[in-house]
Amino acid sequence: GGLRSYIHGSALFDGNRLAGLLDDEDTEILLLAMGQFQNGYLSVSDEKGTVTFLIKETVIPHVQMSLGEAPHAVVTLALFAEIELDTSGNAEERCELKGQLENYIVMELNRVFEQCKLLNSDAMRFGRYACMQFSSVEAWRDYAWKEKYKNMTAEFGVTVKLNDRIISSHIE
């Protein structure tokens, strides 16, 4: 569940065919999107240094799905983060880190989604949200999810609650 020491990557499937592989970091991003992430580390680097965060998922992601020729998902994630390592050593200027971390995670979620879509692998399991909108198996089959998935778009939103006494006194 999300600890890099226990994850060596994951296999992506297109039906029963192995379509590709994700490394351990991309697997963590995939787990975030699926609501199966427990905790792990992410680092953000800029000109001031590198900050490593312990990330924990606080609630299951909220997914809104609209169907059509090009399905669209809006995924909202709420995460909890603690600063584990800060090479900049400048707490007064770190209030922008929360936004940087949120933007970094959104960028990574988009990248992994596009990688999965390119391999025709619904590894983020959007199909389960799509199928809930059908009242019969026949209607679901007629929709042809695997073909529609190729045109799917996704929008990710991430909110991080940053727990650090030094930072929290400067954020507000």
HSE value, Cβ hemisphere, 13 Å, CA-based, for 101 = 25
Q: Give the tens place of pLDDT for each residue, 14-23.
A: 988 999 999 9
Q: Is the Cβ–Cβ distance between 153 and 75 less than 8 Å?
A: no
Note the pTM of the prediction, 2 decimals. 0.85
Q: How confident is the model at residue 91 (pLDDT cuts 50, 70, 90)?
A: very low
